[in-house]
Amino acid sequence: MGKTAGFLEYERVEAKSVPEKERIKNYNEFHIYLSKEKQQEQGARCMECGVPFCQSGMTIMGKTSGCPLHNLVPEWNDLVYTGNWKQAYERLHKTNNFPEFTSRVCPALCEKACTCGNWGDAVSVRDNEHGIIENAYEMGYADAKVPKVRTGKKVAVIGSGPSGLAAADRLNRRGHSVTVFERDDRVGGLLMYGIPNMKLEKNIIDRKIDIMKEEGIEFVTSCNVGVDIKSSKLLKDFDRVIICCGAKNPRDINAKGRDAKGIYFAVDYLSRTTKSLLDSNLKDGNYVSAKDKNVVIIGGGDTGNDCVGTAIRQGAKSVTQIEMMPAPPEKRAEDNPWPQWPNVLKTDYGQQEAIAVYGNDPRIYKATVKEFHKDKEGNLNGVTIVFLESKKDEKSGRMVMEEVKGSEKKLPAELVLIAAGFLGPEEYVSKAFGVNTDARSNISTDNYATSVPKVYAAGDGRRGQSLVVWAIREGREVARAVDEDLMGYSYLSVQ
């Protein structure tokens, strides 16, 4: 293990954040990471448990506990403590293709399942992961590793999000020739345009993509499969095709006045902001601006929080975030024991910034928008929200949220952002290949194989909207399935 009784000698210390009123002046990442020496102390806190829940990736009560990638957390924590940074990288990279991404955007499922967290503060696993990968780049451990032998097999990957990139990376290392098709002008999918720059600076993505190109992967951007290129051509030119197009069909809010000008889906708002930032540092004006506007965000998840942080950086007059569900408790409930995912109140970076700028938490719980209001020109100028209460449905026996009569409240709003989740992949890709889909429009598979020969699917388009770590795992697993199909066997590990 790390240091005997290290968890007793050292307190948890994690990366500090630039103060809220300073960091909102730009779109840069705002964490200040520990020195290597301080990071080694944090590695010493790991007890290398006999049953390491941190790497289990189990589903308990409907939520994931521990890392879905089954990262060998205790092993590389120990190696960090002893200063064996190269070995730590090798153990980390064995299970995770992209620690430079997950150490920035993952909600640290590993830490929520850490045994130390059952009685005190969890080991700072995500920061240790960040230290390992950044040191690997600095020392050259993460440089390109070009495959020495090619199999002669060709695989097309549709979509360059985390699942597509993971599949491409594994198959290329196996020796297959991989081409990734991306409809946007930049590689990265969700990582590039779905996650704001302050959470994941895009040069971090470019750094990894450059290495993947050097290793032999071909990327074709601004190419919309099913529109710019036919599925029949891909099936003719490639031995196998993997659909990793994500779940980008946003859930809408069908309320009166929905046609008002000034209502946007969150993913479009965030994507346009990031593209303009990368293209011109926001000088081209090709984005939706929240400057001097009252902004209402419908949705309380990570995407809604990203909208809060982005709107504040654009100079919003006010920001309100509407959440249908009740506020979680501040402490674990008795029926939510470790190592279950802790259903407790989380105040993320965007909400922290709203509190610093406006003096109050932007979230309103147990509420939804009942009506959008517009002026004579059709421009949005307000919303009416209504509060909700949980009641048992007599027919189904399930608990449902119902309106509280007379609880309507009008809010000023010149910009509304809908961050209510996603319904599945956009149908045109599924239809282009003729693959079967399930009741939620996700692509149906059997061991990642679709109903169409030679066509596979992975990621959010197969499993539904999920986390980056799950997407990477899906990419790794579909790569093994494809490799077995092509070669008759596979030695690609998924854990």
* Span 262-273, pLDDT tens digits: 999 999 999 999
Average pLDDT, the chain: 95
- Taking residues 204-231, what's their average pLDDT? 97
Helix or strand run (H / E) with residue 112: helix 109-112
Cα–Cα distance measured from residue 28 to residue 224, given in angstroms and rounded to the nearest whole number: 30
As a CATH number, domain 154-248+423-487 is 3.50.50.60
Q: What is the pLDDT of residues 45-85, one digit of tens each?
A: 998 898 999 999 999 998 999 999 999 999 999 999 999 99
Query: What residue type is 278 in one-letter code?
Result: L
> Tokens 């194989």 identify what position?
449
> Where are the extended beta strands (E) located within 3-101?
16-17, 31-32, 58-60, 63-65
For 408-425, b where at least 16 C-beta lie within 10 A, e where not — what string? eeebbbbbbbbbbebbbb
Closest by Cα among 273, 297, 274 to 287: 273
Q: Which CATH number is 6-139 given?
A: 1.10.1060.10
What are the pLDDT digits (tens) for 307-345? 999 999 999 999 999 999 999 999 999 999 999 999 999
- Mean pLDDT of all residues in 457-463: 96
Three-class secondary structure of residue 284 per DSSP:
coil
Rounded mean pLDDT of 241-254?
A: 93
Question: Residue 495 — pLDDT band, cuts 50, 70, 90?
Answer: low
Question: Where does the pLDDT of residue 393 fall: very low under 50, low under 70, confident under 90, or very high at 90 and above?
Answer: confident
Tokens in use for 185?
A: 């002008």
| DSSP E strands, 108-167 | 154-158
The average pLDDT across 462-487 equals: 97
The neighbouring-strand residues paired with 28 are none
Classify each residue of 174-188 as buried b or exposed e, where b means 16 or more C-beta atoms within 10 Å of its C-beta: bbbbbbbbbbbebbb
Of 383, 387, 368, the closest CA to residue 257 belongs to 383
* Cα–Cα distance for residue pair 162/247, rounded to 1 Å: 12
Q: How far apart are CA 40 and CA 128, in angstroms?
A: 8
pTM score of the predicted model: 0.95
Contact 289, 314 (CB under 8 A): yes
The percentage of the chain sitting over the pLDDT mark of 90, rounded to a whole number, equals 90
Q: What is the CATH number of domain 263-418?
A: 3.50.50.60
Return the minimum-mean-pLDDT range out of 4-18, 141-155, 167-181, 258-272. 4-18
CA 110 to each of CA 34, 265, 301: distance values in angstroms, whole numbers, following the listed order: 19, 31, 20
Where do the CATH 3.50.50.60 domains begin and end in the chain? 154-248+423-487, 263-418
* Chain mean position to CA 36: 27
Phi and psi of 219, rounded to 5°? -115, 130
Which of 46, 32, 105 lies closest to 77, judged by CA? 46
CB 37 within 8 A of CB 85: no
Cis upstream peptide for 339 (omega within 30°): yes
Cβ atoms of residues 474 and 458 within 8 Å: yes
All CATH 1.10.1060.10 domain ranges in the chain, comma separated: 6-139
Residue range 177-182: mean pLDDT, rounded: 98
Distance CA 412, CA 2 (A): 55
Residue 452: phi, psi to the nearest 5?
A: -105, 130
Query: pLDDT value at position 399?
Result: 82
Residue 223 CB neighbour total at 10 angstroms: 16
- Averaged over 455-460, what is the pLDDT? 98
Angle CA(418)–CA(278)–CA(429) in degrees, nearest 5?
Answer: 55
420 token code pair: 């209510």
Strand partners, 371: 256, 384
Average pLDDT over residues 102-122: 95
